[in-house]
Amino acid sequence: MGNYQLIAATGCPTGIAHTYMAQEALEQAAKKKGVTIKVETHGQIGVENELTAEEIKNADAVIIAADKDVHPERFAGKRIIDVSVSTGIKDAERLIDDALAGKGSIAAENDAVDALEQETGSNTSFGRSIYKNLMNGVSHMLPFVVAGGVLIAISFAVWGIYSFDPDNAQYNATAAMLKAVGDAAMGMMVPVLAAYIAEGIAKRPGLVVGFVGGIVAMNGGTGFLGGILAGFLAGYFILFLQKILDVLPKQLDGLKAIFLYPVIGVAVIGIVMSLLAGPMKAVNEGMMSFLAGFENSNPLILGVVVGCMCAFDMGGPINKAAYVTGTALLAQGNTTFMAGVSAACIAPPLITGFATLFFGKYFDTNDRNAGLVNFILGSTHITEGAIPFAAKDPIRVLPTMMLGSSIAAVLTYMFGVQVPAPHGGFLVLPVVTGKLQWVFSILIGSIVGGVILGFIQKSSVAAKEKKANAEQADKSVITE
C-alpha cells in the first residue's frame, strides 16, 4: 500500500488551532495505514506545505477537511472526499479508509458551471457552502475588528475619550492619529467581509465585486448585514455571469477575467447595493423619530426597544439609529436616554467574553482569545467585537445579545443613571451619575446573555458530535 499517494487540504474559519489538528490527525492515520500523504494547511498566516501541480497530478485521491475555501478547483478530475475540519480531526482514520476504498466524488473539469450547480445543489451541501463562505468572510474580517478596536480603546484609555476632538480641552494629536488609524481598520470591516464571502463563492473574480459591493453598502449606512448581503449577491452573480459567458470562445478567457467579470459585476452589484441603501436609510430615519417619541415612556418598554435595536445589527443601521438618537437627545441636555444606549452597546462584546470564560471548553482557541479581547472592546463601548460570534450563528446568537442588551438598558433606565458622554464605555465612569448602578446593570445583562450563549454553544457542539457519531455508525454498518 505504500505507493498509494494521498493529498489533503485543511482549513478552519479562524485558521489557528483546528487547521493543524486536522493535519496532524490525517498524517498519523495515514502513517498507521502505511500510506503516504501530504497535507496542505490554510491557516491564519496563509497557505503552508503547498501542494504542487505535480503532486496533485500524481495523487490517487484528495481529502478536503475544511470549513473555508481551499481552492478545490485545482483538483478537477480527481476523486475528492470533502468534509468539515472537525470530521478531519475526529474521523481521520475513516477518511483514509474511504480514500483507499475509492469513495468520494470526481470533481468536474468545468469549474464555473460546476461551481454554480454545486452551490445550488442539495440542501445539506447548499447550507454548508453558505456557512463556509460566510466563515471565509468572517475569518478575514476578524483581524481588522481586533486591530481597529484595540487601537481606539488605547487612545481613549491613555488620553481620554475626547482626545480626538480638536475643539476639546482633552485634544491630543497622537491620540487623534491613533484613533484615525483604528477607525480606518474598523472601516475595512464591512468591505472585507463582503469581499471574502464573494471570493469563497466565485474565487478571484468575486473578490473585487464583493469589495466594491461592501464599500457601497457601508457608505450607504447598511452596516454589517448589508455587507453579508453584498458578499452573497456578488458571489452568486459572478457564478451566474460565468455560466452565461461560457458560450464565448476559450481565447476570450483572459478578457473575461480582467474585463467582463469586474466591469459587469461591479456595475450590477454596486447599483443594486446603492438602490438598497435608500430604503434601508429611510427605515433608519423612521426609527429615529419613533425612538425620540418613546423618550418619556415606561423604562421597561424603552429599555427593551433600545436594547433590541443596539444588539440587532451591532454597528449597523438599526444600532446607529438608536445611537444617533441618543447623541441628538444628549445635545438637547437629555443624559438618561444615552445611558441606556451605551449600556446596550457595551453588553454584546461582554456577553461573548462571559460565554467564553464560563464555557471555555466548548469554544475553539481563537474564539476564547476573541472573547477575552472583547472584555476590553466592550468596556470601551466598541460593540463590533461581538460581530464574528453573531455572524457564525445569527438566528440564535442575535436574540441572546438582544436579551442581554435589553436587561442592561432596562435596569439602567430603572436606576435613572445619567451618562453625559456619547462614547467611551467604562472610561466615562468619572462623569456618570449612578456609577455603581450602571456597571451593575451592564454586568447583569452581560452575564445572563453570556450564560445563554454558552449553553447555545454547548448544544451546537453536542449536536455536531451526535451527527458525527451517527455518520460513523452508518459507515460501520455499511462496511460490515
Does 162 lie in the same domain as 37? no
pTM: 0.69
Which residue in 265, 417, 264 sits closest to 335, CA to CA? 417
3-state secondary structure of 311: helix
Write the DSSP string, 210-226. Answer: HHHHHHHHHHTT-HHHH
Please report whether residue 240 resides in a domain: yes
Of 56, 77, 109, the one marking the end of a domain is 109
Please report whether residue 472 resides in a domain: no
Q: In the prediction, which pLDDT does 325 show?
A: 81
Q: In the prediction, which pLDDT does 1 show?
A: 45
Of 94, 109, 124, the one marking the end of a domain is 109
Does 123 lie in the same domain as 85? no
> How many independent structural domains does the chain possess?
3
Domain encompassing residue 389: 295-465
Please report whether residue 477 resides in a domain: no
Does 163 lie in the same domain as 136? yes
457 close to 355: Cβ distance less than 8 angstroms = yes
Does 143 lie in the same domain as 76? no
Does 278 lie in the same domain as 230? yes
According to DSSP, residue 107 is labeled P
pLDDT along the chain (480 residues), means of 10: 79 74 91 92 85 91 88 87 86 91 74 49 68 82 79 81 86 93 89 94 92 93 83 96 90 86 96 89 75 75 91 79 80 83 94 95 87 91 85 88 96 91 82 92 97 94 85 69
Does 269 lie in the same domain as 371? no
For the chain, the C-alpha Rg in angstroms (whole number) is 25
Does 141 lie in the same domain as 103? no
Active-site residues: which are they?
Answer: 12
Q: In the prediction, which pLDDT does 112 show?
A: 45
Here the cell at position 405 is: 442588551
Of 237, 261, 289, the one marking the end of a domain is 289
- Rounded Cα distance between 176 and 171, Å, is 8
Does 123 lie in the same domain as 134? yes
Cα→Cα distances 274→188, 189, 190, 279, 385, Å: 18, 18, 15, 10, 27
Does 383 lie in the same domain as 255? no
Does 237 lie in the same domain as 96? no
State the amino acid at position 270 in one-letter form: G
Please report whether residue 473 resides in a domain: no
Does 196 lie in the same domain as 87? no
